[in-house]
């Protein structure tokens, strides 16, 4: 197997290799992937994620062919299957980044692809590179991944990235996770069982200020309107906003991360707090993706 589909593919050793390479590639530009072509197939738009991969590819000297909105413009309109599209793309590209609204789409793509397929989000499924960059951010900022207390704010239930991160944290020792969410957005039984099995202590609360004081990491998330009833959304939306005074209440060295975009969950005055690392996180994401592309396209197997 040589695709990047889900965080379950990663053990501590592999994470180590990816993160070490990412650190080495920070601020680098080279021509190591000169002559290689990455295909960006975005069946739902995500300029941010697309640009991150494309910039990473270009910094390594590679080139990119792009379908900004593959859904509308590709032969999928004519009724072609995803499998056929991927078989065709195999002739054009040395790797394929795919974002797709259907869970399992990346896996289906990988099943028929000779070139590496990278899952950049498949519906309610996974978005593994986001989880990897979250984890890398934590390590770079805290200096460790064991012995940490992560507070996930807003949505433990539907937020793909928060869930994927939880899976990765399961590989480390003495990790505590606290979920600060409305009742509708609490952790699923499946994830709770996984955490128990991995010896992660899990707490639940709906009081943000208390949780912030003890956190090494605040993982703020965006409440997804479509997940809640209108009343629940109105009630929840404003409830877990991090403002400057909340940020200031954090202990020294504690960090606030966010997968972005934010739409009010963190107020702008927080941006220059020493705790705010959510924009720095974007840069970490770029280098993690450079490391992954380098490993996938340079011949080293990721899994």
Catalytic residues: 48-49, 78, 99, 127
Identify which of 207, 138, 208 has the alpha carbon closest to the alpha carbon of residue 166: 138
Quick check: 40 and 64 in contact, CB under 8 A?
Answer: yes
Q: Which of residues 41-70 bind a copy of itself (CB under 8 A)?
A: 45-48, 51-52, 54-55, 58-59, 61, 63-70
Q: Residue 47: which of 66, 28, 34 has the closest Cα? A: 66
Q: Which residue from 11, 20, 26, 84 is in contact with a copy of itself, where contact means CB under 8 A?
A: 84
* Residue number with CB closer to a copy of itself (78 or 299): 78
In the complex with a copy of itself, which residue's Cβ is closer, 216 or 265?
265
In the complex, the smallest distance separating the C-beta of residue 152 from a copy of itself, rounded to whole angstroms, is: 20
Number of residues that bind a copy of itself (CB under 8 A): 52
Q: Is 87 one of the binding residues for a copy of itself (CB under 8 A)?
A: yes
Applying CB under 8 A, the span of 116-124, 194-202, 238-246, 262-270 interacting with a copy of itself comes to 262-270
State the minimum distance, in angstroms, from the CB of residue 100 to a copy of itself.
Answer: 14
Strand order from edge to edge, sheet including 63-67? 63-67, 37-42, 95-100, 117-122
* Interface pattern 222-261 for a copy of itself (x via CB under 8 A): x-------------------------------------xx
- Cis check: omega of the bond before 261, within 30 degrees of 0: yes
Return all residues near 85 (Cβ < 8 A) that are at least 6 apart. Answer: 41, 74, 75, 76
CA–CA distance, 125 with 200 (Å, rounded to integer): 22
Closest distance to a copy of itself from the beta carbon of 212 (Å): 22
Residue 111 contacts a copy of itself per CB under 8 A: no
Minimum distance between the CB of residue 36 and a copy of itself, rounded to whole angstroms? 8
CB of 302 to a copy of itself, least distance (A): 23
Residue number with CB closer to a copy of itself (147 or 271): 271
Assess 263 for contact with a copy of itself (CB under 8 A): yes
Q: For binding to a copy of itself (CB under 8 A), which residues are involved? A: 29, 35, 37, 39, 45-48, 51-52, 54-55, 58-59, 61, 63-70, 72-75, 77-80, 83-85, 87-89, 91-93, 222, 260-264, 268, 279, 282-283, 285-286
């Amino acid at each position: 197997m040589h695709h990047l589909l889900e965080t379950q593919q990663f053990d501590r050793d592999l994470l180590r290799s990816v993160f070490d390479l990412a650190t080495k590639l920070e601020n680098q530009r080279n021509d190591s992937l000169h002559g290689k072509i990455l295909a960006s197939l975005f069946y739902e738009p995500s300029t941010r994620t697309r640009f991150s991969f494309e910039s990473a590819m270009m910094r390594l000297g590679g080139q990119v062919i792009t379908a900004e909105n593959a859904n509308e413009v590709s032969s999928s309109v004519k009724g072609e299957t995803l499998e056929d599209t991927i078989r065709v793309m195999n002739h054009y590209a040395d790797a394929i980044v795919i974002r797709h609204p259907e869970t399992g789409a990346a896996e289906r793509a990988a099943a028929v692809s000779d070139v590496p397929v990278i899952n950049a989000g498949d519906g309610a499924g996974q978005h593994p590179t986001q989880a990897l960059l979250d984890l890398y951010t934590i390590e770079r900022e805290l200096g460790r991944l064991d012995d940490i207390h992560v507070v996930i704010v807003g949505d433990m239930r539907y937020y793909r990235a928060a869930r994927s991160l939880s899976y990765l944290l399961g590989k480390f020792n003495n990790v505590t996770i606290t979920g600060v969410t409305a009742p509708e957005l609490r952790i699923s039984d499946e994830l709770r069982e996984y955490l128990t099995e991995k010896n992660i202590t899990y707490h639940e609360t709906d009081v943000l200020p208390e949780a912030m004081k003890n956190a090494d990491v605040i993982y703020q998330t965006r409440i997804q309107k479509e997940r809640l009833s209108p009343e629940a959304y109105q009630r929840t939306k404003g409830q877990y906003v991090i403002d400057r005074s909340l940020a200031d209440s954090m202990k020294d060295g504690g960090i606030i991360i966010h997968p972005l975009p934010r739409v009010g969950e963190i107020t702008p005055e927080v941006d220059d707090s020493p705790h705010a690392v959510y924009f720095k996180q974007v840069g970490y994401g770029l280098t993690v993706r450079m490391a992954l592309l380098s490993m996938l396209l340079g011949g080293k197997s990721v899994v």
